[in-house]
Amino acid sequence: MKFPSITQLQQDGTKAALRFPLSLLFGFLAAGLGCWMIELNSSHDLRFLNLLLTFGLGIPLFFCIDVFAEKKRFTLFQRSISWVIGLVFLGLIYMSFPSEDVYTNTRIPYIRYTIYNLAIHLMVSFLPYVGSDNQEGFWNYNKNLFIRLVTGIYYSSVIFIGISLALLAINALFEVKIQENTYAQLFVITYGIFNTWFFIAGIPDTFESKLTQEDYPKALKIFTQFILLPLLLVYLCILYLYGGKIIFTGDWPKGIVSYMIIAISVLGIFTNLLLYPYHQWKESSWIKKFYRGYYVFLIPLIILLFLAIGIRIQDYGLTVNRYIITLMGIWLGFISIYYSLGKRNIKIIPLSLALVMLCSSFGPWGMFGLSELMQRNRLVKILTEHSILVQDKIKNEVQWEIANDGKPKPLKPLQTNSLPAEKLYEVSSILEYLEDYHGLENLYSWFDQDMDSLVREFNKGRFDMTTVAPSKLFIETLGLPYVPPYQRRIRDEGPKTLSLQASGKFGLDISEYEYLSLIELSEWDSSTEIYTDKKYRLDIDPDVQSNLILKWEDQQVEINISHYLNDLLTKYKNGYHNVEEDEMVISKSEMNFKIRIQIQSLTIRQSEEDVIILSLKGVLLINENKQE
């Protein structure tokens, strides 16, 4: 691969600036804003981040507009009108973003932005050929775009790495201090300005070029036939073997298989697109057979995809992610049937995908409206069946006030309502999902209090670990105990899993002890070191995981708590419970030692042979001078 001459770069660059002025302008704006944000370390400021995303979207948007205008031979007035429409669209996108980091913030504006970004990139590939039957010209145009993109990334990487190494050499040899931000700004300038300019400079002037077998890039043929095709066949075999396993064992497909099928299907479609010209040449008959056979073999995998995602939707309802997977399955099914019937129009791939993505981004049928409706209906059903939601009002609603320390304080005891453990986990997951993706505004009418004002007041001026998550506040206002997500994940490990949380003011009398340390043990991190002059260490016994071992120097004390844990399982069975702190105490006196563990939270599981400590968090107190 040869670098172009300076003269050629200058000519192509000037021509590109005249052909695509707004794309280049937004490339400069995005790079300039990115450098400024890096310099001021303001990446957390949503206003600037939203503006950066808007500038970034302007690059492909105006490229798309200008290419279409060239193809349709727009007048200067028509092109100016199209630019104004593009600017209005970008303004609407910017205004759709959240303006500040508030606690009702949702992901929807950014997901919709991503959809529009992908759709615009797809439009770049087919808009110049709307109304044209020139399949070879369409393929050749997109081949040039692809090669130009890869070449631009290659050149940009060489420039960035080369200049970075030069700066490192100056720093090492001349002791000139180079700020770390400089490298990040260099990256932004290289890929934001040079790469954009280089890419648009290589766009062909004509859209009707033909392709001969001699013109097909040999490197592209080798890459496709000897790298992509073998990988594709290996992945297809793996998925078919997995499908056979399901048939013979009757084991339901796992959710991850949906993502694998989508990824492999897209890889196969991309491979077939790269090999499209060979379908026209007689000496490549095996490629023609593969082209049609691939889509036939894809149909059983798409059925497997629908089976896997259908089980997830039936169990947990529709979410944005599951909607996207289902939508991709429908699109893949359409493409597979279309080409299995012998159709050959390759423009249908980007055109149909762009239309499907755009249509799914709005309306009651879209991914946002439909997923919110289904999840809210699941929540209403659970709360109504257990008499927590009665006539669209919460029964036994917990009232709140702001304590002197600024934290929420209930006016009456929590847990005024109850749910079975599985339903409690389900309600918690639904509320967290709604908070993350859609906001909780549609639930405000259930409460007598102004929930929006409560959340804002409890979090005024705080953006740290003390932040009160809206979903947590809603769960506790429902009169239900809040179960952290990491503790809910263990619900699939069996019915005999118990999580306990100490309630009360958690007061400690430390007058009889010399050492105090916070401890946190889990099945992933089964040891906590207590740094004193003797360097104590508390471990979960690897052989008997219901026991604890306190070690120091060359000595150790075993703390057998299996009977204590079994008593907890007998009393509380399983699920999540708030218990009095007096029940969460472990004491032991041995070898002139007095040990006390005040537990804050504890999660255990009943195995076939013993009780296993999954997590333990609390305070360890030690007195090593007690006399027997």
What secondary structure, in 3-state letters, does 128-140 show?
A: HHCCCCCHHHHHH
Q: Where are the alpha helices (DSSP H) in 72-134?
A: 76-96, 108-126
Mean pLDDT of the chain: 84
Q: Which is higher by pLDDT, 628 or 126?
A: 126
Provide the pLDDT for residue 184: 93
Helices (H), 386-445: 421-437
Using pLDDT thresholds of 50, 70 and 90, give the confidence band for residue 464.
Answer: very low
Alpha-carbon distance 184 to 202, whole Å? 26
Q: Which residues pair with 556 in a beta bridge?
A: 551
Region label for 413, one of left (φ > 0), alpha (ψ between -120 and 50) or beta (otherwise):
beta
Quote the CA–CA distance of 26 and 166 in Å, as a whole number: 29
Q: Specify the pLDDT at position 430.
A: 93
Q: pLDDT digit string (tens) for 61-83?
A: 999 999 999 888 899 999 999 99
80-122: per-residue pLDDT in tens? 999 999 999 999 999 999 876 555 567 899 999 999 999 999 9
What distance in Å separates the CA atoms of residue 148 and residue 533, rounded to the nearest whole number?
65
The 8-class DSSP code of residue 41 comes to T
DSSP 23-34: HHHHHHHHHHHH
Let me know: does 477 contact 553? Beta carbons within 8 Å.
no
3-state SS class at 177: coil
pLDDT > 90? residue 323:
yes
**Token pair for 321:** 């992610």
**Are the C-beta atoms of residues 93 and 52 closer than 8 Å to each other?**
no
Spatial CB neighbours of 41, under 8 Å, sequence gap ≥ 6: none
Please state, in angstroms and rounded to a whole number, the distance separating the CA atoms of residues 526 and 615.
9
Residues 498-553 have pLDDT tens digits of 888 887 655 667 777 888 888 888 776 656 655 555 567 888 888 777 888 888 77
CB atoms within 10 A of CB 379: 22
Q: Can you give the pLDDT at residue 207?
A: 67
**Of 82, 56, 55, 57, residue with least CA distance to 68:** 82
Which pLDDT score is estimated for 200?
Answer: 92
pLDDT for res 285: 64
For position 518, what pLDDT does the model report?
83
**pLDDT given for residue 594 in this prediction:** 84
CA 19 – CA 66 distance, rounded (Å): 7
Could you read off the pLDDT of 13-33 as tens digits, one per residue?
888 899 999 999 999 999 999
Counting residues of the chain whose pLDDT is more than 70, the rounded percentage is 87
Q: Are 23 and 13 in contact (CB under 8 A)?
A: no
The span from the CA of 388 to the CA of 396, in Å, is 8
* Percent of the chain whose predicted confidence (pLDDT) is above 90: 39
Of 53-67, 185-199, 559-573, the least confident:
559-573
Quick: pLDDT tens for 427-453. 999 999 998 898 888 999 999 998 888
